[in-house]
Amino acid sequence: MRYPELPESLLRLEEGLLDTWREEDLFRKTLEATAHGKPFVFYEGPPTANGKPGLHHIISRTLKDLVCRHQTMKGRSVTRIAGWDTHGLPVEIEAERKLGISGKPGIEELGIERFNEVCRESVFTYKEDWEKLSERIGYWLDYSRPYVTYHTEYIESVWWILKELAGRGLLYRGFKSVPYCPRCGTALSSHEVAQGYKDIEDASLFFLCPLLEESGELDVEGRAFLAWTTTPWTAPSNTGLAIHPDLRYVEAAASGRRVILAEALAEKVLGDGVEILRRYSADELAGRRYLRPPDLVPAPEEAGNSWSVVLEDFVSAEEGTGIVHMAPAFGSDDYTAGQRHQLAMLRPVDDRGRFLEDIPVVGGLFVKDADSLLIEELRKRGNLHSSATTVHSYPHCWRCESPLIYMARDSWFAATTTLKEEMLRENRKIRWLPPEVGEKRFGEWLENNVDWALSRDRYWGTPLPAWVCEEEEGHVVWVGGLEELGELAGGLPDGFDPHRPFIDGITIPCPSCDGTMRRTPGVVDVWFDSGAMPFAQWHYPFENSEEFEKHFPADFICQAIDQTRGWFYSLLAISTMLGRGTPFRAAMVNGHILDEAGQKMSKSRGNAVDP
């Protein structure tokens, strides 16, 4: 009996097997052989092909193929449609590098049309690398008809979804404090923010807000509230102090001053044996007014209840002083409390994250660079208690890694909080592997869900299909497809590209008045693009309705654990908002490969290893 010769190495053995599969067209034959089998629907999470694949992509792709191949061997007809994520900041940042520009001013000087042309050219830079990696590791995907998020058909389905959500009362325009990237010049959603936290060293500032008498004169006893913040740059925008209604507060002697803070934190902040002079209930302090710590920003004529003490449940006795400094223009809780208590909103910062030029002391500076100057200004005014540095977790842009700031901005939102219970209920129907991911990490994320900030002040993305009247901004028309837009606008050019800047020039008459409607300038969060794939990969509902219904929901999806706050969430949120329930029955979640510094590997960090 003769045996074949041993291969030179395991590498040669694998390469020979791949050659055989390629010659036999084995993947295609398995699809044909199981075409009439019981369907097993798999959704592929779309990678961004303008960045190279890394070693960290192999884990989830191996797990995906393991499950899908097992189902194929059982005779199931397995859906393995490939997909490409082609919009958003990952593509824009790469285009900026290629063009040698940085930020929105450079893009707008170049022109949106040329910039988006470079974005389009770059989206498939490493497409062959991804396809070769898939073949090399034996991961079978059908690349013959992939879904591509920048294709007109895909965009049209996303528009349809948005119009459906608007019709259900789930979309609204709001002026809210949102996480904002000054470098990219756009707001981010909560699930994007969750992917970009870093431990950094920041200033830890304890500062004084002197009490005022009802007459407006300084308190005759020289008392002052002691507040704490790790964002000294927000001190010029302070318009309120928050205390907890159930906490006890004390007046204590400190460095020749009489300061007020939470009793539970007095010794931690002022030291053991601190002298307590008086005790207060929260109700006794609520409504008291105080002197602005640094009055660098002009006060508005209508200041409401600004520079007064208010009661809020979000105040904690775990850290700080039990007195929260509030700048409603630069914090989510601050903004909500400011609206509730009629506190002025001072926003002396431009879209680049720099103080306005006419602001004393810090004019023209990037906010994070102004901390030391503001601390010194408080010292000069006698309102500095102490300052040090502290290491804490701070949000950064998930793509450009710039520090984010929370800033009040005009944005479009999806009211996902109104469907929290529905999403929690649908989550309980999903088989999570491992189970604790669904119960803990994903379930807790849903419990703390906030409304989804949908709009991005950027260029290369699915345009928001909302047309707003120039005469009355309350008149809004959501457009659900190109045919509908053509009818409203009196026709569209042949082969119309719905991207910016072409879509920006399309106007429609307002159906509610004699005004002209123009499209709101934003584009859609790229995570909405990818979360729409169960519908948009079929150009649903414009065609392939039967195919869509056969492939919804998925039997199986698989991604790394960070997607619990990314693709997994956007899939579930969109489907639930459309009233379709969970879009996947089972989700397998893998961990991350870390580099030598213990950081997860990613393209944006530049620490990925070429497989």
Active-site residues, by number, are 46, 85, 527, 563, 567, 600, 603
Phi, psi (rounded to 5 degrees) for 240: -165, 160
CA distance 132 to 570: 28
Phi then psi dihedrals of residue 287, to 5 deg? 90, -15
Q: How far apart are CA 208 and CA 225, in angstroms?
A: 6
Report the distance separating Cα 117 and Cα 396, nearest Å. 28
Please name the residue ranges forming H helices in 87-176. 89-99, 104-110, 112-122, 127-136, 152-167
Torsion, Cα 253 257 258 259, to 10 degrees, reads -90
- Compute the Cα dihedral for 491, 492, 498, 504 and give only its sign: negative
For the chain, the 3-state helix, strand and coil shares in percent, each to the nearest 5, are 35, 25, 40
Residue 212: burial class (beta carbons within 10 Å; 0-12, 13-18, 19+): middle
- Give residue for tokens 């879009």: 583
State whether residue 374 is helix, strand or coil.
helix
- What are residue 29's phi and psi, to 5 degrees? -65, -35
Instruction: Give the N- to C-terminal CA distance of the chain in Å, as an integer.
Output: 40
Backbone dihedral region for residue 229 (phi beyond 0: left; psi -120 to 50: alpha; all else: beta): beta
Tokens of 257: 């001053």
Q: How many CB atoms lie within 10 A of CB 119?
A: 25
- The DSSP symbol for 82 reads E
- The CA distance from 17 to 136, in Å, is 10
Give the alpha-carbon dihedral of 87, 90, 96, 98, to 10 degrees.
-100
**Dihedral, CA atoms, 223, 227, 232, 236, nearest 10 degrees?**
-50
132 φ, ψ (degrees, to nearest 5): -65, -40
Write down the H helix ranges in 34-88.
57-73
What does the DSSP 8-state code read for residue 441?
I
Burial group, residue 98, by CB count within 10 angstroms (0-12, 13-18, 19+): middle
Give the CA distances from residue 31 to residues 194, 516, 540, 554, 561, in Å, rounded to whole numbers and listed in that order.
39, 52, 24, 18, 30
Name the amino acid, one letter, at 147.
Y
The whole-angstrom separation of Cα 429 and Cα 439 is: 11
CA-to-CA dists, residue 136 to 46, 71, 129, 228, 448, angstroms: 19, 21, 10, 55, 41
**Among residues 326, 298, 476, which one has the least CA distance to residue 408?**
326
